[in-house]
Structure 1
Amino acid sequence: MAPRANWKGFLRLSLVTCPVALYPATSDTEKVSFNQINRKTGHRIKYAKVDADTGEEVAAEDIMKGFKIDTDTYVEVSKDELDDIALESTRTIEIDEFVPKTDIDNRYLIRPYYLVPDGKVGHDAFAVIRETIRGMNKVAIGRVVLTNREHIIALEPLGKGLMGTLLRYPYEVRSEKEYFDDIQDVKVTKDMLDLARHIVEQKSGSFKPGQFEDRYESALIDLINRKRSGLRPAAKAAPKSGGNVINLMDALKRSLAGAKQSPAPARANGKKPKKRVEGQREMLLPISGGGKRAVREEPKKTEKPVRAAARSKKAG
């Protein structure tokens, strides 16, 4: 089932306008999540909103927002007052300017979205805007109102669509100076740099996200599967010792030797690991009674749970 659009409206470049829909480009729903439960009863824990002084539960209609001035003083703000100052969405992403992508500091990036034509009309106008941005080799900067707040959005071509990335305002980005001022100025020798470059060359490659495994997520899945199968959790492996290297030059030489001797990633039965399109949750064991989320047979209690696919190269 296709995800629901977070926003629908229009994309406008001067007099060229087309209806568009905005979809989130990322998702955390595939990650393992937990509920809090009562150890004694096994029931879920629910939270009640209570008065900090009286301890009595407060009804939703009696709760309002307050801005803290000092310990016991708040400026109360009602929902109607917030509604009065809320930016009314124009339902239009207005492109204001075009800038080189290199001008956008990565610290300003918040989250990506996919922008696509909405409906059967407007595909030609969308294509004109997309190809104009592509041809200029720049990023289009516009504004969009989401949940009553106006956001800056950077638009760039991605295949047949557009990727829109929300940007932070300057007041949301901290200056690096307060963190970097105390870093000592150190003179680095040519020999050290040469060794470091050799290490980088040995470890150089192209970025392939599919090679990386969320090792904590995989450990969670293994833990849950083992417990559901009545098996004891696997013993934790002892951490590898990094050795007692004091001399920086010696550390660089050892690192270079280690990089040269590192074997290629192991593959099950010598075969290339299968690319897994679905999320991590497909690796969970089936739920009794038939659950759509499961794709594996439940192992016997005397067997080690089988992974859905061979492990990918670990990020390290």
Structure 2
Amino acid sequence: MASRAIWKGQLRLSLVSIPIEIHSATQSGRQISFRQIHGPTGKPIRYEKTVPGVGPVKSEDILKGYEIGDNEYMLLKPEEIDAIKLETKKTFELVQFVGSSEIPPLYFEKPYYMVPTDDLAEDAYRVVRDALRRTDTIGLGQLTLRGRENLCAVKPCGDGLLMETLYYADEIRSAEPLFSEIGDEEPDDDLLAVATQLIKKKTAPFNAEAFTDHYDKALRALIEEKRKSGTVKRARTDDDEAPARGTNVIDLMAALKASLKGSDGGDDEKPARGKAKPSTPRPKAKPPEAEDEKPARKTPARKPAAKKTA
């Protein structure tokens, strides 16, 4: 299925204008969508736009209103909004360039492909693409897309250009109120060394195809099973037989060491929590030397754990 351009206009660099089209780089069609159904009748739920005391209304009678007081609105007609003249509706001008790694990742919102509209535009398009690649920079500008003026970044992507919409500064929430509650204590050197070793072991080139949406896969299997038989069996989840979670350094060290012993492929290790401050005394987990023994789910009594030796 051919991609449909969502924006057409000019990419401008100083006095150079390049006719371009912008296409979405992502697709949502693979996701399963549901209709809301009325259980007793099996009929789809419908939503109507209504006014109290009037009932259903026509789309052409609906205006945009900005609340200026308690139940008081300033009405704006579509033609009044459309009359707002923005050059960015038809022109995307690169007004600034920054280093390719200068923009924090949380500012990036959605990717789009930017392509030339015809053969005559390709020469200038390739010049901009290769100049960005040679200088290792990203171009910044603003573009009106779907009724909103977006801050956008442009960078080389293979043989073409990738445009990504960015969040404005006032749209980013500060992490300080959240991160400020994290303690300043340095992590244990031994734990840090084992965790670093585990990360190095699992480091590999990025391959998005290696990851699967397990929920989507299970949901499709559920739908297919129900379509064929009309009956559904509950699948057991990891939570059905989840082991008790430890809350001390010995548990974390044991889990990290067990992870290192695992295979390089799809490990089935269970995550362990980091060091915590217990409010009440709890029995300690087995030391790392006994990690290979599978613990029983229920025991009549617990023996005191051996003390950790240096």
TM-score, with structure 1 as normaliser: 0.77
Q: Return the alpha-carbon distance in structure 1 between the equivalents of residues 203 and 254 of structure 2.
A: 17
What is aligned with 1:277?
A: none
For the residue of structure 2 that corresponds to 1:251, the secondary structure is helix
2:95–2:139 contact (8 Å) kept in structure 1: yes
Matching residue of 1:302: none
Residue identity matched to 1:252: M
- Does residue 252 of structure 1 match 2:257? no
Partner of 1:26: 26
- Residue in 2 that maps onto 1:199: 198
- In the alignment, does 2:49 pair up with 1:61? no
Aligned to 1:42: 42
Partner of 1:243: 244
Aligned letter for 1:14? S
CA drift at 1:200: 1.7
| Structure with greater Cα Rg | 2
1:233 aligns with 2:236: no
Whether the aligned pair in 1 keeps the contact of 2:88 and 2:142 (CA below 8 Å) is no
Task: Map residues 184-223 of structure 1 onto 2, 5 A cutoff.
Answer: 184-223=183-222
1:143–1:152 contact (8 Å) kept in structure 2:
yes
Give distance in 2, aligned partners of 1:67 and 1:212: 44
Distance 1:107 1:142, change over 3 A: same
What is the number of residues matched between the two proteins?
265
Alignment gaps of 5+ in structure 1: 267-316
Pairwise CA RMSD: 2.1
Match of 1:159 in 2: 158
TM-score normalised by the chain length of structure 2: 0.78
Name the aligned partner's letter for residue 159 of structure 1: G
Q: Residue type of the partner of 1:130? A: R
Match of 2:144?
A: 145
Conservation of the 8 A alpha-carbon contact between 1:95 and 1:141: yes
CA contact (8 A) 2:63 2:76 kept: yes
SS at match of 1:151: strand
Alpha-carbon distance change, 231 to 258 in structure 1, aligned in 2, over 3 angstroms: farther
Separation in structure 2 between the aligned mates of residue 86 and residue 12 of structure 1, nearest angstrom? 18
Where 2:150 maps in the other structure, the secondary structure is strand
Aligned pairs (5 A) from 1:126-137: 126-137=125-136
Q: Is the 8 A contact 2:201 2:264 kept in 1?
A: no
3-state SS of paired residue (2:162): strand
Contact 1:89 1:148 (8 Å CA) reproduced? no
- 2:161 and 2:62 map into 1 onto residues whose CA distance is 41
Counterpart in the other structure of 1:3: 3
Equivalent in the alignment of 1:307 = none
With over 3 angstroms needed to count, the CA separation of the structure-2 counterparts of 1:68 and 1:242, relative to structure 1, is farther
Equivalent residue number for residue 117 of structure 1: 116
Whether the 8 Å contact between 2:198 and 2:260 is mirrored in structure 1 is yes
Take 1:170 and 1:181, find their aligned partners in 2: how far apart are those partners? 21
Q: Which residue of 1 aligns with 2:278?
A: none
- Residue 281 of structure 1: aligned partner: none
Query: Aligned pair in 2 of structure 1 residues 106, 38: CA closer, same or farther (>3 Å)?
Result: same
Cα distance in 1, alignment partners of residues 29 and 206 from structure 2: 24
> 1:206 deviation in Å?
2.2
Measure the CA separation in 1 of the matches of 2:40 and 2:220: 24
Q: CA deviation at 1:167?
A: 1.0
Gaps of 5+ in 2: 268-310
Could you tell me how far 1:195 is from its partner in structure 2?
A: 2.1
Shift of 1:32: 0.7
Cα distance per residue 1:185-222 (max 9 Å; x no partner): 22322122112212222322222110111011001110
Query: Identity of aligned pairs, percent?
Result: 34
Query: Aligned partners of 2:69 and 2:187: how far apart in 1?
Result: 50
Q: In structure 1, what is the Cα distance between the partners aligned to 2:101 and 2:88?
A: 30
* Aligned-partner SS, 1:34: coil
CA deviation after TM superposition for structure 1 residue 90, in Å: 4.9
CA contact (8 A) 1:153 1:167 kept: yes
Letter in 2 for 1:256: K
Task: Answer yes or no: is the 8 Å Cα contact 1:198–1:256 preserved in 2.
Answer: no
Instruction: Tell which deviates more after alignment, 195-204 or 116-125.
Output: 195-204
In the alignment, is the contact (CA less than 8 A) between 1:141 and 1:154 conserved in 2? yes
Any idea what the Cα deviations from partners look like across 1:101-158, whole Å, max 9, x if unmatched? 2211112111000011112321111111111111111111122221343222111111
- 8 Å Cα contact 1:86-1:149 kept in structure 2: no
Q: Counterpart in 2 of 1:290? A: none
Higher relative contact order, structure no. (Cα contacts within 8 Å, ≥ 6 residues apart): 1
